[in-house]
Amino acid sequence: MSGGSVILRALGPSVSVQDMGRPGRMAQGISRGGAVDPLALVEAAALLGSRSPLSALEMAVSGGRFEVTAPTRIALTGAPMQAELDGRPLRWGASHRMEPGEVLSIGAARTGMFGYLTFAGGIETPVVLGSRSAHLAAGIGSALESGARLPLGVDPEPDAPAMVLTQDDRFSGGTLRIIPGPQTGLFDEDTFARLTTTEFTRARQGNRQGVALESDAPALTSDKAEGLASDVIFEGDIQMTGAGTPYVLLAECQTIGGYPRIGTVLPCDLPRVAQAAPGTKLRFKAVTLDEADALAPRWETQLQAQRAKLRPLIRDPHDIHDLLGYQLISGVTVGRELEEENG
Amino acid sequence: MTLEEALRPGTAQAHRPQILPAGGNGLLVRFALVAEPTAIAAAQSFHQRVTESDLPGVREIVPSLVSVLLRFDPEAVTRTEMAQRLETLLSEADWQSAAPHPAQRVWHLPVAFGGDHGPDLEGAAKLAGLSPQAAIDEITATPLSVLAIGFAPGQPYLGLLPEHWNLARRSELNPRVPKGALCVAVRQLVLFANASPTGWHQIARTAFDVFRPDQSDPVPLHAGDEVRLAPVSGTEMDALLKAGDPMGGARCEVRS
């Protein structure tokens, strides 16, 4: 049995298939890649009742129009985007049912950068090195183009009720917790202190490999970086460029680099970096190693936490237990008003 | 020195092994800040040692030029326990005089020097104080070691060349070297996995493909392998490139 396929139409500038990526291959020069906001995949798994994160469409800045050839549930997670199914507004951070012939339109992000469209049966493109993720920097896979069709897995429970959860707000900047790293010692105490007292702005330069930050403060540089051997770099590292401005590495970063790194953003705060649109304010706050290690849950643990937040998405009057508590204008209501009220 | 103390700003140690926290669930064992021969040998030896010792809770071991990164499973071992085990391993040898075991695998890679395949050969040789032919002779006579794989998938850092090859990077970035470009700087050679801009000097080219995502062994070279460069003519290289075989005429000799 096939789950049919999804037809991609009028796609935004950067839509690609992403899952949890390829961890454990740094010795081969391959960074994890995968979703730059893995929490969005965990949210989708919770909404769709999946035991593990599914491969999804990662949509930078805007989505596109989508049709399916077999009924399936979908989840909309990550950065909230304008979404409609056949003209009917859809709640973000929720699951919905989609039928063949219906057109799902996903527009611009209202806040944040990366939205995720997950199908309940997953996307069944070929697995390369243990993952379906496009890793453009590594030359694996490619950005998707309008007109393409991708095979879908079968929705194991197409009639399961639509669900909604309140997403952790990570779309509008804020505080990034950091720990010192192997090269923090190359910077003097004053420079490190200024890193944590300066307000930074997400610069225009940024993609799945990393994000540049800027500020009015004097450059944060090291005078001990001359002749430094290239060393292992990874997601979360804060590289200090020659200009003394931070560049935070994301999922698709290189694996060896020569710029000194002043510290590392904790994995749990990386979605906040990835989702910061240009102009968003970000700050760094140093935490102890013990605090950091306590804040590094595996996705299994995160999935339990997201499941605990699920509530039914009320869309049909017959499903509403306290229907009499609602004021029914002219005695008639349609799902949309209730859905919007619930939203 | 505790882990927290090792991280204080201003405490970087230039010439002795340090165990340093490296991101979530990571520790880095680093032997020096610069790519000096004793530290490179120490990092290679320690990589062999830590791989053989099969420490519980280790998820990933990533060797680099002068360091080894270990990623651990936080549900199997704490950061402090992991650091203690590494400290014990470190205490068992004198890393100033460490020598890695001889490589088990020796790769023989055909390369074409100079001309279109190595536009910077003449300039780089001059900077090293050699004629182009003397440079080719010296580089092909040097047993090279894969010091690290990284930056891009499968991309090897090879070294070390003799001291006079301690060339600075070019003052102007080369906007594009092709896939397979062999480039030199700081006593090392890099064999590019993909077309890329670089500040390194392109002296040669190979048809050997260092990254083959659709094959069962996507990254044929491993850190610690030995590499010997075998010179071929530009015409021979053109033929190898045209043939499109990812091996590019290379062969792997396994020492028993």
Indicate whether A319 pLDDT > 50.
no
Q: How large is the average pLDDT for residues A200-210? A: 96
Query: Does residue B160 have a cis bond before it (omega within 30 degrees)?
Result: yes
pLDDT of residue A298: 83
Helices vs. strands in chain B: H and E counts, helices first: 6, 14
Note whether B23 contacts A179, CB cutoff 8 Å: yes
Domain boundary among B49, B69, B97: B97
**Which residues 128-187 on chain B approach chain A with CB closer than 8 angstroms?**
148-155, 157
Q: What is the pLDDT of residues B126-137, one digit of tens each?
A: 999 999 999 999
A320-334, B32-46, B88-102: least confident range: A320-334
Note whether A181 contacts B23, CB cutoff 8 Å: yes
Reported in sequence order, the residue ranges of A103-209 that DSSP labels E, i.e. its strands, are 104-109, 114-119, 149-151, 163-164, 174-179, 200-207
Q: Are A183 and A261 in contact (CB under 8 A)?
A: yes
Distances (CA, A) of A166 to A40, A198, A282, B14, B16: 12, 31, 22, 49, 50
Mutate to test the interface with B, among A224, A256, A265 (most CBs of B within 10 A): A256
pLDDT of residue A223: 85
User: From the list A185, A227, A230, which residue is nearest B65 (CB)?
Assistant: A230
Share of chain A above pLDDT 90, in %: 81
Q: Find chain A residues with C-beta within 8 A of B187's C-beta.
A: none
Q: Find chain B residues with C-beta within 8 A of A289's C-beta.
A: 3-4, 7, 21, 79
Same domain, B127 and B208: yes
Share of chain B above pLDDT 70, in %: 94
Same domain, B118 and B92: no
More confident position, B220 or A342: B220
Q: What are the structural domains of chain A?
A: 5-166+308-342 (no CATH), 174-294 (2.40.100.10)
Q: Which residue of A has its CA nearest to B77?
A: A293
Shortest Cα–Cα distance, B102 to chain A (Å): 20
pLDDT of residue A217: 87
Q: Which residue of B has its CA nearest to A262?
A: B9
Indicate whether A228 pLDDT > 90.
no
For residue A303, the tally of other CB atoms under 10 A from its CB is 20
Structure letter (DSSP) for residue A24: T
B5 reaches A (C-beta below 8 A)? no
Same domain, B128 and B168: yes
Same domain, B146 and B195: yes
Same domain, B71 and B161: no
Domain boundary among B72, B97, B122: B97
Q: Which residue of A has its CA nearest to B62?
A: A27
pTM listed for this prediction: 0.91
**Which residues 183-242 on chain B approach chain A with CB closer than 8 angstroms?**
193-194, 211, 213-214, 218-219, 222-223
Same domain, B88 and B119: no
Q: Find chain B residues with C-beta within 8 A of A189's C-beta.
A: 8-10
Shortest Cα–Cα distance, A252 to chain B (Å): 11
Q: Are A17 and A142 in contact (CB under 8 A)?
A: no
* Residue B144 φ/ψ, nearest 5 degrees: -100, 150
Same domain, B126 and B210: yes
Q: Find chain A residues with C-beta within 8 A of B66's C-beta.
A: 229, 231
User: From the list B9, B23, B75, which residue is nearest A188 (CB)?
Assistant: B9
Tally of domains in chain B: 2
Q: How large is the average pLDDT for residues A178-207? A: 95
Q: Are B139 and B229 in contact (CB under 8 A)?
A: yes
Helices vs. strands in chain A: H and E counts, helices first: 6, 22
A249 reaches B (C-beta below 8 A)? no
Domain boundary among B80, B97, B114: B97
Tokens 């000097």 belong to residue: B201
Mutate to test the interface with A, among B2, B4, B7, B68 (most CBs of A within 10 A): B7
Q: CA angle B64-B24-A200, nearest 5°?
A: 100
Same domain, B219 and B199: yes
Q: How large is the average pLDDT for residues B36-43? A: 94
User: From the list A139, A256, A288, which residue is nearest B148 (CB)?
Assistant: A256
Shortest Cα–Cα distance, A21 to chain B (Å): 14
Share of chain A above pLDDT 70, in %: 91
B20 reaches A (C-beta below 8 A)? yes
Helix (H, G, I), strand (E, B) or coil at B136: helix
Q: Find chain B residues with C-beta within 8 A of A192's C-beta.
A: 9
* Residue A117 φ/ψ, nearest 5 degrees: -110, 115
Q: Find chain B residues with C-beta within 8 A of A28's C-beta.
A: 149, 153-154, 218-219
Q: Find chain B residues with C-beta within 8 A of A227's C-beta.
A: 33-34
**Which residues 91-130 on chain A approach chain B with CB closer than 8 angstroms?**
128-129
Same domain, B143 and B234: yes
**Which residues 81-110 on chain B approach chain A with CB closer than 8 angstroms?**
none
Note whether B9 contacts A180, CB cutoff 8 Å: yes
Q: How large is the average pLDDT for residues A178-184? A: 94
- Could you please report the per-residue DSSP string of B34-74? S--HHHHHHHHHHHHHHHHHT-TTEEEEEE-SSEEEEEE-T
Same domain, B215 and B182: yes
Give the integer Cα–Cα distance in Å for A206 and A223: 26
- Nearest CA-CA partner of B30 in B40, B19, B44: B19
Q: CA angle B88-B94-B97, nearest 5°?
A: 150
Q: How large is the average pLDDT for residues A166-174? A: 97
User: From the list A228, A264, A266, which residue is nearest B33 (CB)?
Assistant: A228
Q: Find chain A residues with C-beta within 8 A of B222's C-beta.
A: 27
Indicate whether A335 pLDDT > 80.
no
ipTM: 0.91
B74 reaches A (C-beta below 8 A)? yes
Q: How large is the average pLDDT for residues A224-242? A: 90
Give the integer Cα–Cα distance in Å for A182 and A36: 24
Indicate whether A295 pLDDT > 90.
no
Q: What is the pLDDT of residues A60-116, one digit of tens each?
A: 999 999 999 999 999 999 999 999 999 999 999 999 999 999 999 999 999 999 999
Q: How large is the average pLDDT for residues B44-52? A: 96
Note whether A231 contacts B9, CB cutoff 8 Å: no
Same domain, B40 and B93: yes
User: Judging by DSSP bridges, how do beta strands B26-30 and B67-72 pair with one another?
Assistant: antiparallel
**Which residues 173-202 on chain A approach chain B with CB closer than 8 angstroms?**
179-189, 191-192
Output the domain CATH number for residue B78.
3.30.1360.40
Which domain, by its residues, includes B40? 3-97
Q: How large is the average pLDDT for residues B58-66? A: 96
Q: What is the pLDDT of residues A120-159, one digit of tens each?
A: 999 999 999 999 999 998 989 988 999 999 999 999 999 9
Same domain, B44 and B136: no
Give the integer Cα–Cα distance in Å for A104 and B36: 58
Q: What is the pLDDT of residues B163-201, one digit of tens each?
A: 999 998 887 888 899 999 999 999 999 999 999 888 899
